[in-house]
Amino acid sequence: MWQDIVFLCGSVFSLVVLVPTLRDSMANVPLGTSLPSAVIGIVYGTAFLTLGMSLSATGSLLTGIMWSLIAALRSPNPLETESDDEHETTFSKYVPTQYAD
């Protein structure tokens, strides 16, 4: 089916566009964006698979996996804590230094 190839092309385009985000260690993608996108990719992939559109299913599942990786690696982690050294350095930026006379 030609539709299978059209959906595959869309998924391949998404994958190509998402690769720089995954490779950029400074990228910061909110979980509110990455998790729903991952779920949609996996759901669409499953739906395409049940319709016998294996190319579309593969592309959508890979896109869902890519978004899952972005969610895991490039989303802010609210549970992450600073080490004591980082805290002291950050704190010292805002507290004026007092010198003894």
pLDDT in tens, 32-75: 999 999 999 999 999 999 999 999 999 999 999 999 999 999 98
The pLDDT score that the predictor gives to residue 77 is 73
The pLDDT score that the predictor gives to residue 39 is 96
CB–CB of 99/50 below 8 Å? no
The pLDDT score that the predictor gives to residue 84 is 47
Confidence of residue 1 (pLDDT cuts 50, 70, 90): confident
70/66 Cα distance (integer angstroms) = 6
pLDDT in tens, 12-31: 999 999 999 999 989 899 99
The pLDDT score that the predictor gives to residue 99 is 63
Name the pTM for this structure.
0.73
Query: Which of 36, 16, 18 lies closest to 74 in space, CA to CA?
Result: 18
The pLDDT score that the predictor gives to residue 57 is 97
